[in-house]
A and B are shown apart, each in its own frame.
Chain A
Amino acid sequence: MAETMQFDLVSPEKRLASAQVTEVQIPGAEGDLTAMPDHSPLITTLRPGVVKATGPDGGLEFVVTGGFAEISAAGTSVLAEVAVPVADVTREILDGMVEEANAARDAAEAEAQDVLAKRAADLAAISASLGL
């Protein structure tokens, strides 16, 4: 059996997942990364995307809109503000998020626009990647 590590996904309102996994794919702010047991300690912020954990008991997939991940040798915890299991995600939810992000981008001042535009584009990319 492959080595496993502790994976926690928590949102401010509840603990969404806690399991032993072999690897976790994380949409990091500076590029996607996969954490496996004994990864070097790392803290990264997230961009909107899909967190995918693979374990002996099957996989877990969540759409997250942002937050951060703390990776240490012993485990990975993802702290997401909004996280929705992929199975529950519908086109409407994503469209709603994209619309919100677009509105925020248009309302923002010039200097913040790049960041917010990227956020909106990331959100839009999720629906494409999930094939919805």
Chain B
Amino acid sequence: MPNLKDLKNRIASVKSTRKITKAMQMVAAAKLRRAQDAAEAGRPYAERMNAVLGGLAASVGGSDSAPKLLSGTGSDQVQLLVVMTAERGLCGGFNSTIVRLARTKVEELQAAGKTVKILTVGKKGREQLKRDYEDLFVGHVDLSEVKNVGYANAHGIAADVLSRFDAGEFDVATIFYNRFQSVISQIPTAQQIIPAAFEAEGDEGGTLYDYEPSEEDILADLLPRGVATQIFAALLENGASEQGARMSAMDNATRNAGDMIDKLTIQYNRSRQAVITNELIEIISGAEAL
């Protein structure tokens, strides 16, 4: 039986752990609010952008002059996977679920004989993928210094991806991130960004727009922005998901610590009683022996 002093120390240490996880949960809750607001605020832009691009793509898409970003290179041999994870751990299964999805995809593509390249955003995903796929890495974007993800960050990632595309380094690009559903549920999502895939927009009344300059020029101008917008939206969703996941993970940890404290306290009280009973028995038997 562990002695009383050890048990007491143990209880004290679990209590301070509980304090820490409780604090982390509250910080995550506050950050989640902000991240959700940011995701919300970014939505109008993304929606408009998609609507306009969708309309343009529908009218130009069929022609031969369509930009490569839209029509693709005509091959899908080289695949770029952009895996977006968090910079920090302690957020439950958040990072692992993205990595697992990416891993499945890599295996699937490799089985089909494709060449896979991986660009990682966020330290945690890089660490987890490094073991198996280090030779597939083509780059890494470090956001650990960034406190609030801004459009500039997304723009930087997009510029990196686009320059690789222009250099002919890959044919198809897919981003991996967690879509925020609720605090307890984040959905790991793979989304193809190059060539651009638009959800079939039911054409809204079919407004015929004039384009200035020509449709092709506008499309060439907008597609790179569209890529940046999609990446930005993914970063925001990821940010909200991370805080949500951390919040529920820390909530669990706090509850577990509470259970543990209860258990240890019972154990402590029992052994304290046992010690007292023992002492009594010793005294009584000592008195009887006289």
Q: Is the CB of A70 within 8 A of B52?
A: yes
Q: Is the CB of A12 within 8 A of B210?
A: no
CB 8 Å contact bits of A77-121 with B (1 = contact, 0 = none): 101010000000000000000000000000000000000000000
Partner of A12 from B151, B212, B213, B217 at Cβ < 8 Å = B151
Interface size grouping (class) on chain B: 20 to 34
Contacts of A30 in B (CB 8 A): 212-213
Contacts of A79 in B (CB 8 A): 45, 48-49, 52
**How far does the Cβ of A42 sit from chain B's closest Cβ, in whole Å?**
5
Most central of B56, B150, B209 by chain A CB within 10 Å: B209
Contacts of B150 in A (CB 8 A): 13
Verify if A72 is at the interface (C-beta below 8 Å from B): yes
Q: Is the CB of B42 within 8 A of A14?
A: yes
Verify if B261 is at the interface (C-beta below 8 Å from A): no
Contacts of A72 in B (CB 8 A): 207, 209
Question: Given A12-B151, A12-B232, A13-B150, are A42 and B44 also a contact pair (CB < 8 Å)?
Answer: no
Verify if B38 is at the interface (C-beta below 8 Å from A): yes
Contacts of B52 in A (CB 8 A): 43, 68, 70, 79
Verify if A59 is at the interface (C-beta below 8 Å from B): no
Question: Given A68-B218, A81-B151, are A41 and B44 also a contact pair (CB < 8 Å)?
Answer: no
Closest chain B residue, CB of each to CB of A80: B45
Interface size grouping (class) on chain A: 20 to 34
Q: Give the docked Cα–Cα distance between A81 and B48 (Å).
A: 13
Contacts of B200 in A (CB 8 A): none
Q: Is the CB of B42 within 8 A of A43?
A: no
Q: Give the docked Cα–Cα distance between A72 and B208 (Å).
A: 10
Closest chain B residue, CB of each to CB of A44: B212
Contacts of A40 in B (CB 8 A): 210
Verify if A28 is at the interface (C-beta below 8 Å from B): yes
Verify if B41 is at the interface (C-beta below 8 Å from A): yes
Verify if B222 is at the interface (C-beta below 8 Å from A): yes
Q: Is the CB of B42 within 8 A of A45?
A: no
Which residues in chain B, 201-240, are within 8 Å of chain A measured between CB atoms?
Answer: 207-213, 217-218, 221-222, 225, 228-229, 232
Which residues in chain B, 149-185, are within 8 Å of chain A measured between CB atoms?
Answer: 150-151, 154-155
Contacts of B48 in A (CB 8 A): 10, 70, 77, 79
Contacts of A25 in B (CB 8 A): none
Contacts of B154 in A (CB 8 A): 12
Contacts of B208 in A (CB 8 A): 41
Q: Is the CB of B212 within 8 A of A28?
A: yes
CB 8 Å contact bits of B104-146 with A (1 = contact, 0 = none): 0000000000000000000000000000000000000000000
Contacts of A44 in B (CB 8 A): 211-213, 218
Partner of A68 from B46, B155, B222, B232 at Cβ < 8 Å = B222
**How far does the Cβ of A7 sit from chain B's closest Cβ, in whole Å?**
13
Which residues in chain B, 39-67, are within 8 Å of chain A measured between CB atoms?
Answer: 41-42, 44-46, 48-49, 52, 56
Contacts of B213 in A (CB 8 A): 29-30, 44-45
Q: Is the CB of A41 within 8 A of B42?
A: no
Question: Given A43-B218, A81-B151, are A8 and B44 also a contact pair (CB < 8 Å)?
Answer: yes
Closest chain A residue, CB of each to CB of B211: A43
Question: Given A43-B218, A45-B218, are A12 and B207 also a contact pair (CB < 8 Å)?
Answer: no
Binding site for B on A (CB under 8 A): 8, 10-15, 28-30, 40-45, 67-68, 70, 72, 77, 79, 81
User: What are 19 of the A-B contact pairs (CB < 8 Å)?
Assistant: A10-B45, A12-B232, A13-B45, A28-B212, A30-B212, A40-B210, A41-B207, A41-B209, A41-B210, A42-B209, A42-B212, A43-B52, A43-B56, A43-B210, A43-B218, A45-B212, A68-B52, A70-B209, A81-B155
Given known contacts A43-B209, A44-B218, what 17 new A-B pairs fall within 8 Å (CB)?
A10-B44, A10-B45, A11-B45, A12-B229, A13-B38, A14-B42, A29-B213, A30-B212, A43-B56, A43-B210, A43-B218, A44-B211, A44-B212, A45-B212, A45-B222, A79-B48, A81-B225
